[in-house]
Structure 1
Amino acid sequence: MQTEWTRKGMCAALLAAALATGAWLAQADAPAPAATPALDGIALAAPDAAAVTVPSAPGAWGGIRGGEHPTLSERVASYRIEATLDPVKHVVTGSQQLTWRNRSAVPVRSVYVHLYMNAFEGAGSTFYTEQRQRGEAFRSGVATGDGDWGHIALRSVKQGGAAVPWRFVQPDNGPATDHTVARLDLPEAVAPGATTTLDMAFTTQLPRVSARTGHFGSFHLVAQWFPKIAVLELPGERGATAPRWNAHEFHMESEFYADFGSYDVRLTVPKGYTVGATGELQGAPVENKGMLTHRYVQHDVHDFAWTADKRSAAPLVETWTGPGSPTVTVQVLYPPEYEASAKPAMKAAKDALAWFSRTLGPYPYRTLTVVIPPFNAQEAGGMEYPTFITASGYAEVPKKSLAEYELDGVTIHEFGHGYFYGILANNEFEEPMLDEGLNEYWDTRMLRERGQGVHPAPKFLQAIGFAPAFEAFDTLRLASPRDRPADAPGQNAWNRLQGISPVYTRSATVMRDLEERIGRDAMERGFKEYYRRWKFRHPSIADFREALADGSGARAAVEDVFARQVYAVSRVDDRVSEVSSEEVLPLPGTRLESGKRVSETQDAVDQRIDTLRAQWRKAHPDAKKGTGPFPFRTEVTVRREGASVPQLLVVRFADGSSETVAWNADEKWRRFSWVKPARAVSAELDPRRSHYLDVNKLDDSRNMAPNRSASTRWGSDAAAFFQLILSLIATV
């Protein structure tokens, strides 16, 4: 690997030579000349692009895909790749033919490619710059040290035999040292409706496993490893009003966006390595000089990832069939130390195939590969690619344990991405809610239906008798910023004060609250309509909104939630502020009685009250406390210190009766009153717990008499726990 000073010296010489001849650089390690406009004038998507508010045109990306189409997708960009892995140097040497079709009505001279692996070439990338600025680690916090860096070097690019000049660009105004996007200026324009083929040679140095890709020992997870063309969006697609390239830098918390196409990939690795990849293996691998070439083909996908490891155990292979889907070959690749995880991962994957196919639409592919990374390579786990996902591994997976819950949860979650990222191929840079948020909501629904809706306590807490458990949606609620939310779920992936986590937790909570508002069946109809309209296309948040509103039949509710909690972010904080319930007793003074004015002193009133009470108790010996001869006036004041949400208020009375009233007005407070024959016992907002976005559910209700059962129970548990800890300390 070149030293930094050698690289700089070589680049300076190459730059001088290129400028002298009027040519551009085609050397991956070289700095780019100053940016110049694209040759065809086609603009890039804005650096702050986020949630789209205007629905796409009906014909966007060829219109709704149905049985009348010869292919599942439009197949805009297709790849023929040959790649060889050096497992000692952890280098992939590759060549590819990229065939791209110009869908626009204008000639195209400049195209953009993502070189994602350059995010890991050094500390100057946008990825690592954002890490330093935020003071945050990525996911599992694996650090990249000396010798652990990775990169992708474009060795040559040709169009019809002619060299293609190219340069690095920073579409999001990131540092000039970010090399994750390059612009290729084509010698020959691509006419409207025409295709061009670009021949590329590249070398990819894999990093030590970091941010979803890389190597550890003999294990290799090879993802975002080849030059990938950006998406040219047309007017009427995701808010575009003119052709534009959607090409963003690789941010710390962004993922990906690409055109559908076909992949025909030959992977050459040493004999003895187990290989898994996107798509279907074509026949037996071909051996040559101790190397095996595995050929995988998959149509109608927008990415390709693979793995190779000489330590893998024999793969676990089963099949799954379901209505409307082909027979699916499911395989689990796992290291020997995590053998206990293989069968649970297989069951979770097959259950997910059945559930997502039933609740959204049929799974369209013939394969699904689940990879469990080995010990010390967990950063490669928990990620999704078309027909290929990575899960998590455990040496032991006891029933009803946290390990079982997390293994199942991760497997189901990553499979779900096969729908929300894979088939419903949204722009994960600009609208991550459509993938991470919707998938988190939908797979939590599956866990709830599967009987795993409760998050168990860790094993060591169970062993000492302190084992609080939370409903899955309660866990998401607790992890969501509610009191002071800063970022709308529809915001893009990188311009977020509170990071990417709320895209998962708050988005899922927003959808869960909408489900409570319109009903589970209506929500499922809306999601099925979303899948029907937008499978094998590229929907926006506005497209999801319209499909959900039409499919559910609850347009007003959907539009209200999107306006307040998707395009914006609003605090929800309703509470029962005051409750009073007092007897309506006779009062002293004068009154008209049979046309005559009668005067009654306080003593006389008190005597009459006592007499009436005694008579009533004699007539009602079994009466409940809080009832009597006089009615009670009950007043309940509710307060609102955030966005308006439709509320129910339930007031319960001592005689067992109750009153339920809706509070839907957009106002800061309201006082409700009743005159009833019994005293109020309690007042409660949101009795069905429909609003998980609410800052504090504890102030949703008030009791007329103190009820210390909850505090006593939790206080006793806490006291017992701390007493145990002190006892352990005392014995040390």
Structure 2
Amino acid sequence: MRRSTHLPLAALLLASALAAAAVVHETGTPAQPAGAPLDAIALAAPGASSVAAPSAPNAWGGPRTGAEPTLSDRVVRYDIDATLDPERHIVAGKEKLTWRNRSQSEVRSVYLHLYMNAFEGRNSTFFTEMRNLDTGFRTDVQPKKGEWGHIALDAVAQGGARVAWQFVHPDNGPASDHTVVRLDLPQPVKAGASTTLDIDFTTQLPRVIARTGYFGSFHLVGQWFPKIGVLELPGERGATAPRWNVHEFHLTSEFYADFGSYDVRITAPKEYVVGATGELQGAPVDKDGMRTHRYVQDDVHDFAWTADKRSATPLEDSWTGPGSPRVAIRVLYPPEYAASAAPALKAAKDSLTYFSTTLGPYPYKTLTVVIPPYNATEAGGMEYPTFFTAEGYAGVEPDTFAAGALDFVTIHEFGHGYFYGILASNEFEEPMLDEGLNEYWDMRMVRERGQAMHLTTPLLKALGFAPRFKPFDYERGIATTAEPADALGRNAWDRLHGIGPVYHRTATMMRDLEERIGKPALERAFKEYYRRWKFRHPSIADLRETLAEASGQREAVEQVFAQQVYGVTKIDDRVTSLASEEELPQPGTRSVAGKWLESTGHDVDKQVEDERRAWKKSHPGAKEGTGPFPFRTTVTVRRYAATVPQTLLVKFADGSSETVQWNADEKWHRFTWVKPAKAVSAELDPQRRHYLDASKLDDSRTTRADGSASRRWSSEFAALVQFLLSLIATV
């Protein structure tokens, strides 16, 4: 972990003043003092999080059946001319933004995201949250002098009339954050009508810090243009009145936007290889040493592109599948990572097959995979519609970390094309719907390919150190099972344990739900989720309702969502005791034929000895733990947290077993059997359905001490220590 550097207060104030001055100078239309919008439409709440009420049936225009003329209900259109200056890392843009007012109200103020301003200085919401983070962020790249970025509004007009604008802070972030701007329109937009804004802007790309930027000649241009927020209507994602959903750019949040059409012309020096969202329209046009590429894509909600003069010749292929158009695939990569291109292509094609089969058809005609160059790692692992970045390695030896990481990141970023792209959830307020569900579906694909998570290198592998984990064992290991603090449905930025549990704990929870209701029911439910909510914007409540209805397992689904999505409840069931003792005759009196006979301790001992001798004679080779007397077996189980349906399996010395269900809402229970054999073991959750359980080590007990587990871990640890010491000795 890298410690934060705290500047003196005076330095912070000076930096803030300089940043504000720079923005005013660059925009040409200074931000106005804060004031109320021109209409009464409110903003989404600063702490908005998981939605509990399902959306209305007609939300976002209702389900897309395929009979509509367009895949999505297109709300916005972007026509953009963008020119890259690769030496100064600047994009000069002219944008024509056409937006349709879906509401029944007149709109007089609209809101734009200026995401790139997150990188203008350390006083943005993004960097303020980074300073307060307990752990490092991604690879913790810190910008140096000359490496900051921003986006400036040079001119904004509506029908030729200048538009006044001002920065706003929907989440009560620092006044120095400039990632959201409000435009007060000269002409209101009537209900159902559209308006067009002409925007001149300049984007200064930062050195790649997180998700976007440059390194050397490589440019990943994401979140680079002024993008309008989402006007949600009553019945959509819990809204009861029209509201603008337009959050600041938080450190661990991503994005949310309306579906629409993009027509983007990208001009760069002709020696630069360009890739982008969408389909290339015709041959690029050359003029004065520059080359213009035109990309068009409908029914998406974002647009990103890349340009690099060091790119190798792109690797190209295609894929076809039922219900999908022919997909042209293009892998862009630098020469140093040539070994990664073919594996990334294969993983992309396999992902197309898996996701289109298990969720629904891939609806687009292109897929571009970008492998960033050395020293641009922060550009890797990022998703945009029909376009994503993977990771690069110089060597991709099978069964090593590099091979597994390249494969998994490619699958993961492609998967976002479904959960972030086609299903278009709100990544600010409900990141579980994208990061969490995507992680789960990716791990299902890895599991069904028979792959493991490898944590070794070629050198370590040659030396015999090659740990590997099953996909969901890996997820469980980092899923914060012991002391969870944040409900999975919580928003992206207000989390004690950061964004990590959204990925791993959601994947583990969904895996447990699959085990509980059955794989066919779960897959049927997710196919219905895709069918019902594609090209709309589902909420967590919409996911819950779809899974409950389509699986036919409402009680199970609602219990899991109540405990883990809306609440945060640990699961911790244990076998606390196991006893199995013979039921021997006891001293005392008993009535025989009307007479009372008394047995002393000596009499009982002799009786036991005689019966055992006779039994052994008549049962040669009998298993240990069996005999002439029955055994009373008692198992006590305790519940230290949430109630979940449990199975208890007790095995006996004669090979028999007893299985009981423990589903009651109680803190403990004692189970008893009287059988002709001694118990060998008792185990909760023998099918390992509850990976969210805080510890699986206390799920079982045996009647005899078993040191195999401790010996194994001790020997593994000793081998690791010896290996590390020998490695140090050779350095």
TM over 0.5: yes
How far is 1:712 from its partner? Answer: 1.7
**Distance in 1, Cα, partners of 2:19 & 2:563:** 55
Match of 2:354 in 1: 355
Task: Give the ranges of 4+ consecutive aligned residues of structure 1 lying more than 6 Å apart after TM superposition.
Answer: 4-7, 9-14
Assess if the C-alpha contact under 8 Å between 2:359 and 2:526 holds in 1: yes
* Amino acid paired to 1:342: A
The alignment covers a number of residue pairs equal to 719
Specify whether residues 310 and 11 from structure 1 end up closer, same or farther in structure 2 by C-alpha distance, changes over 3 A only.
closer
* Amino acid paired to 1:111: V
> 1:417-439: CA deviations, max 9, x gaps?
00000000000000000000000
Assess if the C-alpha contact under 8 Å between 2:16 and 2:123 holds in 1: no
Match of 1:443 in 2: 442
Assess if the C-alpha contact under 8 Å between 2:680 and 2:704 holds in 1: yes
**Distance in 2, Cα, partners of 1:11 & 1:673:** 73
For the residue of structure 1 that corresponds to 2:503, the secondary structure is: helix
Specify whether residues 237 and 11 from structure 1 end up closer, same or farther in structure 2 by C-alpha distance, changes over 3 A only.
closer
**Distance in 2, Cα, partners of 1:453 & 1:247:** 40
Q: Which moved more, 1:468-477 or 1:413-422?
A: 468-477
**Distance in 2, Cα, partners of 1:52 & 1:139:** 28
Specify whether residues 269 and 13 from structure 1 end up closer, same or farther in structure 2 by C-alpha distance, changes over 3 A only.
closer
Match of 1:566 in 2: 565
**Distance in 2, Cα, partners of 1:690 & 1:49:** 32
Match of 1:502 in 2: 501
Match of 1:297 in 2: 296
How far is 1:457 from its partner? Answer: 3.2
CA RMSD of aligned residues (A): 1.8
How far is 1:707 from its partner? Answer: 1.5
Match of 1:122 in 2: 121
* Amino acid paired to 1:116: Y
Q: Which moved more, 1:109-118 or 1:713-722?
A: 713-722
How far is 1:454 from its partner? Answer: 3.9
Match of 1:18 in 2: none
> 1:118-141: CA deviations, max 9, x gaps?
000001100000111224432111
**Distance in 1, Cα, partners of 2:674 & 2:98:** 77
What is the correspondence of 1:88-487 to structure 2 with a 5 Å cutoff? Answer: 88-487=87-486
For the residue of structure 2 that corresponds to 1:409, the secondary structure is: helix
Assess if the C-alpha contact under 8 Å between 2:360 and 2:530 holds in 1: yes
How far is 1:404 from its partner? Answer: 1.0
How far is 1:456 from its partner? Answer: 4.3
**Distance in 2, Cα, partners of 1:99 & 1:33:** 24
> 1:132-153: CA deviations, max 9, x gaps?
1224432111111111100000
**Distance in 2, Cα, partners of 1:731 & 1:252:** 42
Specify whether residues 134 and 717 from structure 1 end up closer, same or farther in structure 2 by C-alpha distance, changes over 3 A only.
closer
**Distance in 1, Cα, partners of 2:253 & 2:268:** 30
Assess if the C-alpha contact under 8 Å between 1:110 and 1:184 holds in 2: yes
* Amino acid paired to 2:268: V
Match of 1:42 in 2: 41
For the residue of structure 2 that corresponds to 1:425, the secondary structure is: coil
Assess if the C-alpha contact under 8 Å between 2:318 and 2:327 holds in 1: yes
Specify whether residues 649 and 407 from structure 1 end up closer, same or farther in structure 2 by C-alpha distance, changes over 3 A only.
same
Assess if the C-alpha contact under 8 Å between 2:28 and 2:155 holds in 1: no
Match of 1:599 in 2: 598
How far is 1:466 from its partner? Answer: 2.8
How far is 1:13 from its partner? Answer: 12
Assess if the C-alpha contact under 8 Å between 1:31 and 1:168 holds in 2: no
For the residue of structure 2 that corresponds to 1:134, the secondary structure is: coil
Specify whether residues 592 and 325 from structure 1 end up closer, same or farther in structure 2 by C-alpha distance, changes over 3 A only.
same
**Distance in 1, Cα, partners of 2:27 & 2:502:** 34
**Distance in 2, Cα, partners of 1:100 & 1:517:** 45
How far is 1:471 from its partner? Answer: 1.1
Specify whether residues 633 and 9 from structure 1 end up closer, same or farther in structure 2 by C-alpha distance, changes over 3 A only.
closer
**Distance in 2, Cα, partners of 1:218 & 1:546:** 48
**Distance in 2, Cα, partners of 1:526 & 1:171:** 35
Match of 2:538 in 1: 539
**Distance in 1, Cα, partners of 2:29 & 2:122:** 16
For the residue of structure 2 that corresponds to 1:671, the secondary structure is: strand
How far is 1:37 from its partner? Answer: 1.6
> 1:143-191: CA deviations, max 9, x gaps?
1111110000000110000000000000000000000000000001100
* Amino acid paired to 1:669: W
For the residue of structure 1 that corresponds to 2:132, the secondary structure is: helix
**Distance in 1, Cα, partners of 2:177 & 2:213:** 19
Match of 2:9 in 1: none
**Distance in 2, Cα, partners of 1:255 & 1:249:** 10
For the residue of structure 1 that corresponds to 2:698, the secondary structure is: helix
Specify whether residues 534 and 465 from structure 1 end up closer, same or farther in structure 2 by C-alpha distance, changes over 3 A only.
same
* Amino acid paired to 2:568: V
Match of 2:659 in 1: 660
Match of 1:71 in 2: 70
> 1:654-676: CA deviations, max 9, x gaps?
00000000000111110000000
Assess if the C-alpha contact under 8 Å between 2:575 and 2:699 holds in 1: yes
* Amino acid paired to 2:561: F
Give the unaligned 5+ runs of structure 2. 1-12
Assess if the C-alpha contact under 8 Å between 1:26 and 1:155 holds in 2: no
**Distance in 2, Cα, partners of 1:187 & 1:89:** 35
**Distance in 2, Cα, partners of 1:724 & 1:407:** 27
Q: Which moved more, 1:320-329 or 1:699-708?
A: 699-708
How far is 1:36 from its partner? Answer: 1.7
Assess if the C-alpha contact under 8 Å between 2:44 and 2:246 holds in 1: yes
How far is 1:460 from its partner? Answer: 3.9
For the residue of structure 1 that corresponds to 2:520, the secondary structure is: helix
Specify whether residues 600 and 10 from structure 1 end up closer, same or farther in structure 2 by C-alpha distance, changes over 3 A only.
closer
Assess if the C-alpha contact under 8 Å between 2:29 and 2:153 holds in 1: no
**Distance in 1, Cα, partners of 2:163 & 2:26:** 11
Assess if the C-alpha contact under 8 Å between 1:682 and 1:701 holds in 2: yes
Specify whether residues 13 and 96 from structure 1 end up closer, same or farther in structure 2 by C-alpha distance, changes over 3 A only.
closer
